Structure 1
């Protein structure tokens, strides 16, 4: 009951805590609902067939979302015969896909994705199924069925871009579905290997029996997917986009939880400092330390329950809006819908309650140690701002932050961001715990100009901050979090982007680059029209679920274009024929082969070839694990598209009309090579900075309002000492500026240290010196917002307090 009574009488002091928990639960429930709804779905192309066989999956440790290992043509035929012999199976349909894109008015049409090929065999239309809307199915090599929405009638002609180049087709029919459907024979020539076989069953067939028989027929060469498990057929490109969206949601939840605990803990800690005399009075009238601690926990639980319920309601309302935002950003499919579920809502409520209790734990411990005589204490000077527990915990957490910083320097590019963020969080907590030790020298340094002046305001600001160092630390902590996280989040992505752009620029000898325009890559006809060094990406598959990125090149042209090419053994001149390969050092070690030895590797068409290692190069010699003769890649991967062609000297006057290509200078190309990744990263930055800024803005305003409202007696003493209202407000404003300056300095220190770890790690990975990029625009904006909030949250309550005191007289 005492806890409830305290909340009623001091509700303004707990407003910030309530809002922090409220927003924390809202964010957790919102992100939880979206995460639970963002599950893989059965692709529409496969929805009508209940049982599928899928080839063996490969390792995804490199984060590239590589597709499954294709079956060989012989194995595909063998499986089709075996599946069709199963009772209840009407036919087994190999799913053959290839790159196809229409050319309309001389330009590539549609927004194509290399991970979602639009060319299909007509037989695969039965898997959806997609019946003909009009016309007839394709029967000749140059026949095609197109999407009805294109507005092209049967009997018309259409030009399609394929891996080889533009081809003219006769439109024989239309379907109410996206894609281009050709004869099975044509699809076999244009497509890579088969990875999926659909088992079209007869009406009334026993699906469980069909599934069991299919598993027996397939053996260990992949897996059988039936019913709900067909979500495993999700395209790797869609899986990758969904994964990126999940990372944003997880980061939002993690950051929200961290900032919530930080805000609640700092608010309760500051509340204990303010309530020292009140708590001392409770001890005087007989309250035991356990009862005082129990009262503090009761307050936290009451706030947590009410704020948690309100947060769940807001999270449920906001979840669909977040889902729509992710769809608009391209991080979820167009048909994505958020489903309201009990588990994430209950989980967020429990998490909010835990945040409130965790936040008050340290404050409750300190409150229970207040002695009865504290009720008589008048001085605001901190007798012992640093306790033994604070020394130990501050040192341990700071040490953990330094350890994570060292891990960041040695991390892979995929883990570097996460480790840097955790390092910064640990350093922020550590610096906050050690703030009473760190702040005095910072205050003396920042207020040195004021100390040399004879004004009373400067003296009051300086000495007041030094005397009440815990109050100064508590009010500066939210600014430290805001500046530290915002600068780190923006700076680490800018540093990574500039590092990779620099690596691309310094490792390539070229004046300009030809890149795809409106297409996922350059086809063979476009490349033949360009006199330069081309890169034709593909994938190789090794033993035990291993896979290796490879590029088809012309050896002498590739050597001229690379400024960092270092051959450790062998010679690139021997990269010719159909059975040669160049490996980088780490791949050669992984396959346990040396120059002159052979290793079996599987191509995209499913054919396995014993490739002779003709040379081994350093890992930073090429942005791939293996080099192959360009013609070899073309023969085994008909849908392979060239990612770029490097040019030296003059640019050709015309680059194949309608072939989907454009020319850009090297600097522009280096900056644009990861344009899509940068777009997603910018979304990530905006959401995280916006959320952290909103949270800590609340903490800044709440803490300063609490601090100012608690100083009515101080203001009265200043007025009795002869200070005017203007001088009192000037003192308050100066203290706020000092607090923002302290928080900014400490926050920048944390961010710079973490960014240095990223810079060092990138420099080691890329083999070149990467500059640390500071986001000055973000720094200026965040500091300005913090300063404005601090001034409003301190000067306005002080002005109201002075007016109230004047009215009382």
Structure 2
């Protein structure tokens, strides 16, 4: 009953707490809604195109835990085996190749694949070798000529017919020369479920059989691929949003309860038992936190749409993406908001309930013991955890070390926030040193007031600490990693010139051949890019498959020419041993020289390879195979770039004129790679930080408003002592600036410590691994925090100081 009466009489005082809980719940539920929408591919089109006429689509089974990797191709010869299955009218391998026309890249297929799509001719005849069938959108009539560049060079194909839809089809023989089988489409003349079951028995565990609506997952959909690529990034963003929300809500709620020490003292003085005070606070937290968390979880729905819009503007998700409202993310936001509110009230309630009545009155005036056992324990725990992660990161492989140290800054933020009552006095003395020698009462009041009310300063500085600390550590970590990667590339790239594709996916074989013919004394290295899928054993303890990070992009190289154009950092083994049947692996894989690795290539063939060398994971790719291996398994593989050493730029340009490539110097190539990385980093920051920093900005305003309104009696005392309203405002504004500077100081310390740990981890591979402290973002964040803090303190203080001092002192 007392709790309800308190809520009715003090609802305005609890408004700041309700705002913090509501916005925190909204941030959590909105991030969860966004992540759920990405996982469910909300808004992605599911129209069948490539396999519209196929009853069943068969792909290779993913043999690793990498859920973001595309499905591998089916095993070789599968179509022949499926053709004899009862109920199968036809089993057609879908051969896909990538080619380049004058207007850009295009995907082509073998003519047999037209049956899978339900495509038909409207004019002309089916393509023979050296011919093509195209859609009307190309504007080429039957009998015309189509210039096509594939992995092995340029071809002039005669157009034999036109399709009833967009597309490019060549003879099955030409398609087999230029591409690989990506799936097998099955046309059935029996019930689909029965045929699919028979296909599964023939294909075994190495295939995935898709029927009905599931067939759309075999379709190449750029929107779906984009969402798949964004999944891990947005997962980190959701975790960061949860951390920020929990941190701010807990800090704000605990501060709100600690502001009411005088009220608790009076209750104890009139006979209330400690358990009654605690019970009242818990009930208030349950009612206020529950109502605010419920409202905030619903507010997460529009917040998720706003965040999705910002991600669309950053081109991190497709424009069609629209997260749907789901129950579990809303429940998650409500539950976390309520639980954090209860936890935030727990410590302050216990402290208020334990204090004897007379001491409670004294405790209400001056905070004598700002550090509790809980703050000591958890503060030192988080601090020790951050230091331990930095130490461990210096002893393990690069990839794991980087992952371990990227989020160390958040641990330092929490540790500094918990230990703030201990850390603040020396920080305040240092930051306010100019005030100590300043003349007048105002500087003295600002400095001594902050030193006296350490807990208030700690609570109000907490949102500043998390705003600047999280932004600084995350931006700094990405910048430090980018700088190290860029420095590593510049140090290891020894080629004089780099040939890059002009608006296409890769460089075809005609380019390095032309360069070598024109400049026979030059060293020409043209690594071929392909994809492999690691076949990993099942963990006997039920933990999934034991992968080694091999699945993904691979380069086929000639070690002799590669070493003379790019100084690959070999951790163990030797590139001299890279022969057919071998592979190099990254240092984070846990594999050693001589270890076996089973991979599936682009043509569906599976081979057991031996590790020839372990390569630093900071290289552009650390998984290498012999170039002849790539040519044997992926005839469509092209070079992402060609490296040339020992020739003039003019000679190289003359050799490749008209082949659709550009020739740039090694410095320009490094600059372009760095620019691409920086653009990607900026997009990643949008996803990682997103609205979390907006929320912390609102938290700064909310917390300082609560603190300013709580200082009514202090401002009244200033007025009664003879201070003018302008002097009172200057005192409040001075403390607000001091709070921001103190919070920023601790945030900079957290940022620097975390970046030193990351640089130490990177230093095992890169000689020039130096921490990049993002001073400009930190400065901008500080300015924003100062503006918000001054607005949240000066305006309410000015309003209160205009009232008569007696009325202000008597205000509830």
Q: Could you state the TM-score of these two structures normalised by the residue count of structure 1?
A: 0.87
Q: Shift of the alpha carbon at 1:747?
A: 0.6
| Match of residue 454, structure 2, among 454, 462, 469 | 469
Residue aligned with 2:527, SS:
strand
Using the TM superposition, give the Cα deviation of residue 487 of structure 1 relative to its aligned residue in structure 2, in angstroms.
0.4
CA displacement, residues 650-709 of structure 1 (integer Å, 9 cap, x when unaligned):
213346455332233323322433765543431231344442322222222122222222
For 1:234 and 1:418, the matched residues in 2 are separated by: 33
With 788-797 and 284-293 compared, the bigger mean Cα shift is at: 284-293
* Alpha-carbon separation, structure 2, partners of 1:731 and 1:462: 10
Q: Residue 265 of structure 1 contacts residue 362 of structure 1 at CA under 8 Å; is this kept in 2?
A: no
- Distance in 1, matches of 2:466 and 2:617, equals 37
1:754 corresponds to: 754
1:605-684 equivalences under 5 Å are: 605-606=603-604, 616=613, 619=616, 623-625=620-622, 627-628=624-625, 630-631=627-628, 633-648=630-645, 649-651=647-649, 652-654=652-654, 656-657=656-657, 659-673=659-673, 678-684=678-684
2:541 is aligned to none
Contact 2:464/2:743 (<8 A) preserved:
yes
**d(CA) in 2 for partners of 1:543, 1:294:** 58
Equivalent in the alignment of 2:561? 557
SS in 1 for 2:515: coil
C-alpha deviation, 1:629, in angstroms? 5.0
Q: How far apart are the structure 2 equivalents of 1:464 and 1:719?
A: 16
- Alpha-carbon deviation of 1:80? 2.1
Report the CA distance shift for 1:208/1:612 in structure 2 as closer, same or farther (over 3 A).
Answer: closer
Measure, in 2, the Cα distance between the counterparts of 1:589 and 1:807. 73
> Would the alpha carbon gap of residues 628 and 376 (structure 1) be closer, same or farther in structure 2, given more than 3 Å must change?
closer
For residues 305 and 331 of structure 2, the distance between their equivalents in structure 1, rounded to whole angstroms, comes to 18
CA change 1:625–1:435 in 2 (3 A) is closer
Deviation at 1:54, TM superposition (A): 1.9
Q: Deviations over 1:200-240 (max 9, x none)?
A: 223xx322211211111112332323345446536598666
1:121 to 86, 110, 120: 110
Residue 49 of structure 1 and its aligned partner are, at CA, apart by 2.9
Q: Helix, strand or coil for the counterpart of 1:338? A: coil
Report how far residue 187 of structure 1 moved: 1.0
Q: Is the 8 A contact 1:486 1:692 kept in 2?
A: no
Matched, 1:742 2:742: yes
Asked if 2 retains the 8 angstrom alpha-carbon contact of 1:386 and 1:436, the reply is yes
Specify the SS of the correspondent of 2:602. Answer: coil
Number of the residue aligned with 1:199: 186
Equivalent residues in 2 for 1:82-101 (5 A)? 82-101=81-100
Match of 2:791?
A: 792
Question: Secondary structure in 1 aligned to 2:529?
Answer: strand
Find the aligned partners of 1:324 and 1:386 in 2 and give their Cα distance: 43
Change (3 A) 1:328 1:220: same
Partner secondary structure for residue 286 of structure 1 = coil
1:430 counterpart residue number: 415
Separation in 2, partners of 1:796, 1:284 = 35
Q: 2: distance between equivalents of 1:589 and 1:430?
A: 33
User: Where in structure 2 are the equivalents of 1:478-627 lying within 5 Å?
Assistant: 478-531=463-516, 532-539=524-531, 544=536, 550-564=554-568, 572=576, 579=580, 583=584, 590=591, 593=594, 603-606=601-604, 616=613, 619=616, 623-625=620-622, 627=624
Question: Is the contact made by 1:537 and 1:641 (CA closer than 8 Å) also made in structure 2?
Answer: yes
Which moves more between the two structures, 718-727 or 744-753?
A: 718-727
Partner of 1:159: 147
2:257 is the alignment partner of 1:272: yes
Q: What SS does structure 2 have at the residue aligned with 1:45?
A: coil
Rounded to whole Å, the distance in 2 between the matches of 1:276 and 1:754 is 37
- In 1, Cα distance between equivalents of 2:238 and 2:456: 29
Matched, 1:458 2:458: no
1:183 to 154, 171, 179: 171
3-state SS, counterpart of residue 286 of structure 2:
helix
List aligned pairs for 1:191-590, cutoff 5 A.
Answer: 191-192=179-180, 194-202=181-189, 205-230=190-215, 233=218, 241-333=226-318, 335-374=320-359, 376-377=361-362, 380-409=365-394, 419-420=404-405, 422-531=407-516, 532-539=524-531, 544=536, 550-564=554-568, 572=576, 579=580, 583=584, 590=591
> CA–CA distance in 2 between the matches of 1:149 and 1:374?
86
How many Å separate the matches in 2 of 1:663 and 1:92? 45
Question: 1:499-533: CA deviations, max 9, x gaps?
Answer: 11111111111233222221111111123233533
Q: TM-score, normalised by structure 2?
A: 0.87
- Aligned twin of 2:542: none
Structure 2 Cα separation of the partners of residues 686 and 140 of structure 1: 50
- CA drift at 1:770: 0.9
2 CA distance for matches of 1:753 and 1:567?
28
Bigger shift: residues 627-636 or 478-487: 627-636
Q: CA deviation at 1:281?
A: 1.6
Gaps of 5+ in 2: 517-523, 538-546
In structure 2, the partner of 1:58 is 63
Distance 1:250 1:533 in 2: 38
Per mean C-alpha deviation after superposition, the further-off stretch among 460-469 and 561-570 is 561-570
Q: Compared with structure 1, are the counterparts of its residues 237 and 629 closer, same or farther at alpha carbon in structure 2 (3 Å cutoff)?
A: farther
Equivalent pairs, count: 781
Question: Contact 1:58/1:67 (CA < 8 Å) preserved in 2?
Answer: no
State which drifts further: 351-360 or 704-713: 351-360
CA–CA distance in structure 2, aligned partners of residues 68 and 58 of structure 1: 9
Answer yes or no: is 1:770 the counterpart of 2:775.
no
Cα RMSD between the aligned structures? Answer: 3.5
CA distance in 2 between partners of 1:290 and 1:660 (Å)? 80
1:138 is displaced (CA, Å) by 3.2
Give yes or no for contact 1:103–1:161 (8 Å, CA) kept in 2: no
**Residues 247 and 277 of structure 1: is their aligned pair in 2 closer, same or farther, counting only changes over 3 Å?**
same
- With over 3 angstroms needed to count, the CA separation of the structure-2 counterparts of 1:286 and 1:260, relative to structure 1, is farther
In the TM superposition, what whole-angstrom CA distance separates every residue of 1:294-353 from its partner, at most 9, and x where no partner exists? Answer: 332333333333333433443333444444544454444454443333333333333333
8 Å Cα contact 1:58/1:69 also seen in 2: no
Instruction: Answer yes or no: is the 8 Å Cα contact 2:72–2:533 preserved in 1.
Output: no
- 1: distance between equivalents of 2:11 and 2:667? 58
Go from structure 1 to structure 2 and tell me whether the alpha carbon gap of 1:583 and 1:391 turns closer, same or farther (over 3 Å shift).
closer
Task: Tell me if the contact between 1:264 and 1:360 (Cα under 8 Å) persists in the aligned partners.
Answer: no
1:244-292 per-position Cα deviation (integer Å, ceiling 9, x unaligned): 4223432333222222222222222222332111111222333333332
Return the offset for 1:806.
Answer: 6.2
Aligned with 2:804: secondary structure? helix
Q: Cα–Cα, structure 1 residues 397 and 231, in superposed 2: closer, same or farther, change >3 Å?
A: farther
User: What is the CA–CA distance in structure 1 between the aligned matches of 2:745 and 2:477, rounded to whole Å?
Assistant: 18
Shift of 1:48: 4.3
Instruction: Give the Cα separation in 1 of the matches to 2:791 and 2:761.
Output: 41
Q: Deviations over 1:25-66 (max 9, x none)?
A: 3333333333333336766423543422222423356x9836
